[in-house]
Amino acid sequence: MELFVFLGSLFGFLITGLPIAIVLIICSIILLHYIEMYDPMLLAHQMISGTDNYVLVTVPFFILAGELMKHGGISKQLITFAELVVGRFRGGMGYVTVLACMLFAGLSGIAIADVSALGSILIPMMVAIGYRKDRATGLVCSAALTAPIIPPSLPMIILGVTVELSIGRLFVMGIVPGILLGFTVMSAWFIMVRRDGYHDVKTVSLNQVWPIFIKAFPSLMLPVIIIVGIRLGFFTPTEGGAIACVYAFFVAVIINRELKLHRLPAILYDGIKSSAAVMFIVGGACTIGWLITMADVPAQLIERMQGLVQHPMLLLIVLNILFLLLGMVMDITPIILIFAPVIFPLIRSAGIDPYYFALVMIINLCIGLITPPVGTVLFVGCSVSNLKMGEVVKGILPFLLAELIFLVACISFPRIITWPATWFGYNY
């Protein structure tokens, strides 16, 4: 019964439009009353202790690093480098957009950062050479979904902390699927170029190649430093977040000289606001997670889905359909925090590798970021392009279909995710 009380109160208050953090607190109060354990001090204690986790310090570090990179001239450098690599192909500006988003993904770890930092530059550039504005916006939004998959990834950090998985291993396992997702969007763009009749080509002269590479090199090295450092044990993910901040500051201020010191307070304030919003949700979700455990909800779920536990592939399909539906009405962070503690015991009971499922889950939830009615990336895309949601959704549809096909491929052929992990020393 506790399972239905939890789900009923959660979705009941979600449809009211209340902020997710407030909804989580209300659900906690209702569940505490139901199991006859209500105590305001207990509620406050669980919220505070839920955020009192050393690994969660990584969250504000990577958010701040992303803000520093966004305001430090990195976006233009990555676009220029992407033009050098893929601009020569027909519809070159579209390929440049996807590659630039993939490169920026290795710096930000947040999809909305990709859209806001690159969309404001790339969308006007694509419209100026004759691209449909809705198609250009849809391409940026779709390509930005590589950000939560290609490390460093904020959702991977939150998921790793929530279900006690190695963040370093999640980072390493996200490299190849993230790149493949980017290539999937490029494949869809290859078709749309011919359907929409684009013929643009962006060429770079030979004498510009070396200067462009040298200028972009410091920015391109950030994800390499983080991943290699964590994998070889030079520093922890939390320390890696601090190193990312210092490195981003050094590149933006000393090398690029784009970030002026008088802008730092505003950047720090934006980082604090974003971090506070995430941590408020984390506190509420950790309280719910503790109550779910106390009420033995995971055991109830396993008992009710015992038939699916005996059929892992069917269980994967059902859970992915559930996540696709949840992604349409909730953001990726609260879904991870609320449902991962309930779902992962079920996954382990079915004998499914938790790291493989973690990657599939994040890929699935990323797709929810561009699906109406509550797609956060969709909203940012509308804001950047000044288009209505319906217009942006129309531009996104071909890429959304391609990403759904990629998700089905990852479910049908797990080796897409697990086999590349063996390259980095993980056994499968």
Q: What is the pLDDT of residue 12?
A: 79
pLDDT tens per residue across span 417-426 = 998 888 777 7
| Mean pLDDT for the stretch of residues 170-179 | 91
Q: What's the one-letter identity of residue 149? A: I
pLDDT tens per residue across span 234-255 = 877 778 878 888 888 888 888 8
Q: What is the pLDDT of residue 299?
A: 67
| Mean pLDDT for the stretch of residues 139-163 | 90
Q: What is the pLDDT of residue 203?
A: 76
Checking if the pLDDT of 165 tops 80, the result is yes
| Mean pLDDT for the stretch of residues 132-142 | 93
Checking if the pLDDT of 409 tops 90, the result is yes
pLDDT bracket for residue 428 (50, 70, 90): low
Q: What is the pLDDT of residue 139?
A: 95
Which H, E and C letters describe the chain, residue by residue? CHHHHHHHHHHHHHCCCCCHHHHHHHHHHHHHHHCCCCCHHHHHHHHHHHHCCHHHHHHHHHHHHHHHHHHCCHHHHHHHHHHHHHCCCCCHHHHHHHHHHHHHHHHHCCHHHHHHHHHHHHHHHHHHCCCCHHHHHHHHHHHHHHCCCCCCCHHHHHHHHHHCCCHHHHHHHHHHHHHHHHHHHHHHHHHHHHHHCCCCCCCCCHHHHHHHHHHHHHHHHHHHHHHHHHHCCCCCHHHHHHHHHHHHHHHHHHHCCCCCHHHHHHHHHHHHHHHHHHHHHHHHHHHHHHHHHHCCHHHHHHHHCHHHHCCHHHHHHHHHHHHHHHHCCCCHHHHHHHHHHHHHHHHHHCCCCHHHHHHHHHHHHHHHCCCCCCCHHHHHHHHHHCCCHHHHHHHHHHHHHHHHHHHHHHHHCCHHHHHHHHCCCCCC
pLDDT bracket for residue 179 (50, 70, 90): very high
Which of the pair, 325 or 133, is modelled with greater confidence? 133
Query: Could you tell me the pTM of the whole model?
Result: 0.81
Average model confidence (pLDDT) across the chain: 84
pLDDT tens per residue across span 79-134 = 888 888 888 888 899 999 999 889 888 776 778 777 877 888 889 888 988 899 99
Q: What is the pLDDT of residue 321?
A: 92
pLDDT tens per residue across span 330-340 = 778 888 888 88
| Mean pLDDT for the stretch of residues 5-20 | 74
Q: What is the pLDDT of residue 319?
A: 92
Q: What is the pLDDT of residue 80?
A: 86
Which residues have CB under 8 Å from 33's CB, separation 6+? none
Give me the percent of the chain exceeding a pLDDT of 90. 22
Q: What is the pLDDT of residue 417?
A: 92
Q: What is the pLDDT of residue 3?
A: 63
Q: What is the pLDDT of residue 8?
A: 78
Q: What is the pLDDT of residue 372?
A: 80
| Mean pLDDT for the stretch of residues 155-177 | 89
Checking if the pLDDT of 44 tops 90, the result is no
| Mean pLDDT for the stretch of residues 71-82 | 81
Checking if the pLDDT of 296 tops 90, the result is no
